[in-house]
Amino acid sequence: MSAQFLSRRAFLLGAGSAPLAFAARTPRKPGYNVLFIAVDDLKPYLGCYGNRVAITPNIDRLAAEGMVFTRAYCQQAVCSPSRTSLMTGLRPDTTKVYELQTHFRKTIPNAVTLPEQFKNHGYLTTGFSKIYHGGLDDSRSWSVPWWSPGGPPWGSKENEERARRLDASLAKQDWKIARASSRRGERGPAWSAPDVQDNELADGKTADAAVAALEKLKNDSFFLAAGFLKPHLPFVAPKRYFDLYAKTKFTPADNPFPPKDAPEVALHNFGELRSYSDIPDVGPVPPEKAVELIRAYYAATSFTDAQIGKLLQALDRLGLRKNTVVILWGDHGYHLGDHGLWNKHTNFEEATRSPLIISVPGQKTAGRKTSALTEFVDIYPSLCDICGVPIPPNLEGVSFKPLLENPDRPWKKAAFSQYPRAVKGVGQAMGYSMRTDRYRYTEWRVPGSDFLAVELYDHEKDPQENVNVAKRPENAALVKQLAAQLHAGWKAARP
C-alpha cells in the first residue's frame, strides 16, 4: 500500500483527537460514495408519499432529486429481523433471526454484510447510531468502529475501545443481549415535547457527528450509514416540532377494528405501547389519547426530517452531492390505531410497507415514482450494482437499478414478508404473507400440526385490508392460485 494512500487516512478529527485508525483496504478508482440513512419505525406518512399533513421538507427534497418506491416491503415487521435481512441480503428463513436477541453472526457467521462488501472493495465504511438493532452491532461491517449517541468521539481511541468491549460482551453472551424487561410505569409516558435544542437529543447528536465525519471523509470513498431513532417510541421531539401540528389536524384511525373474519393469530395486543405509563393495560386506546399519539408520531417524524436535512445540506456544502448515492429507508411500517393495532409486529400492509427513496447522481428519472413491487432484501444488490461493487452470488434479492432507468417496466410478481406468532395450545406459527399487484395473501402454519389460517385482502376493492375474503366461495379458485404462488416462493417472483 502506497505511502500516499496511507497518509490520506492519518487525519485528525480535531484538536485533542486521536488519529483515526483504519482497517487495511485496497485503493479503488473514484466512484459513487453512499450515504445510507435508516429511520426507525418510519411509515410512509411523508409529503412525497402524498400525505398532506406531514411536514417533511428535507425528505421531500431528496425524493425530488431521486426516486420514490411507493410499494416497498420489509421482510419482517420488527427491527432486528428487518435490519438483519436488509444488511445481509438474506431473508429471515435464511438468517434465522426472527426476534430481537439473536445476532446473525451466531446463525450465519460467514455472511458478508452490505457495508462489509463495500469495505472489502476499497470503501471506508462507518456507522452512526441504530443501523443494526440496538446492542447488536457488527464490527466486521466497519472500517471505523460504530458510533453511538452519548459515546466517545467518532474515530477516537476511546471509541475503538468501546467497540472492543462490545465485541467481547457479545462473544461472552453467546451473541445474545441481556435485556431487562420493562415493567409498567418504568418507561414513563409514551410521548413528550421538551423545550430543548435538537442536539440535546440522541438524533440531533447523531446528525452532528455524521456531518463532522463527512467533513473528514470528503476526499475518500465512503459508505456512511446514519441511523435515526425517531419516530420510534417514546415519541420524543423538541417542542417546536410539536408546534408545527395543531391537535385539530388529527383524528383517530377510521378503521379501529380488526379486519372482518381475520384469524386471531393475525392480531396482537400491542404490548410495546402498553409498557408506557399513560397507556391502559387492557382495551383500546381512548380516542383522545390516540390523537395525542398520532400527533406525537408526526412531530417525531418532522424532527428526524430536520436531522436528515443537516446531512443533505452538508453534502451540498462539501461538494459531495455530485458523486454520492443517497438512500433512505424505514425499517418497517407502523400501526397508529388502524385495526385497533399499534406498533408493528404484523403481516398487514400498514406494518410491512415502508418508505424507500434513492437518489443517484445524474439520475434521469429524478422526481419520479415507481409502483413496482420492491423488497428490502433488494437494497444490498442494488447499491452494489449502482456503485460498481461486485454482487455476492448468494443474495436473495435482485437489483432494482433497471427501475431507475424505467420506473414503469414490468417487475416482480410479488413481495414476501413473514411474522412468527404463538398459537395458544398449538405452538409457534409462522405467517407467510405475499403482496401481489392486487392482493395480499397470508398463510399461518404451525409445523407438525394441522393448524392453518388464511387471509386474503383485495387491494382494488379494500385498500385498508378491512375484510378477509379468503373463505368466500367465489374466491376458492383465487385462493388456490395464490397459495400455489406463495408456495413457489420468491425465486419464482423474480422479474
Q: How far apart are CA 475 and CA 457, in angstroms?
A: 11
* Residue 224 grid cell: 456512511
Q: How far apart are CA 102 and CA 136, in angstroms?
A: 8
Task: Report, as residue numbers or ranges, the catalytic residues.
Answer: 79, 133
> Does the CA dihedral 90-130-166-174 come out positive or negative?
negative
Residue 237: phi and psi, rounded to 5, are -155, 155
Angle, alpha carbons 8-9-12 (nearest 5°):
105
Q: Which helix (H) or strand (E) holds 477?
A: helix 476-488
Residue 219, number of CB atoms within 10 A of its CB? 9
Sheet with 324-330, edge to edge strand ranges: 144-147, 124-129, 222-228, 33-39, 324-330, 356-359, 67-69, 368-370
Q: Which residues contact 126 (CB under 8 A, 6 or more apart)?
A: 142, 143, 144, 146, 147, 154, 213, 217, 222, 223, 224, 225
Q: How far apart are CA 301 and CA 56, in angstroms?
A: 8
In the 8-state DSSP scheme, what is residue 176?
Answer: B
Q: How far apart are CA 42 and CA 56, in angstroms?
A: 12
Q: How far apart are CA 23 and CA 140, in angstroms?
A: 10
Give 239-285 as a 3 state SS string.
HHHHCCCCHHHCCCCCCCCCCECCCHHHCCCCHHHHCCCCCCCCCCC
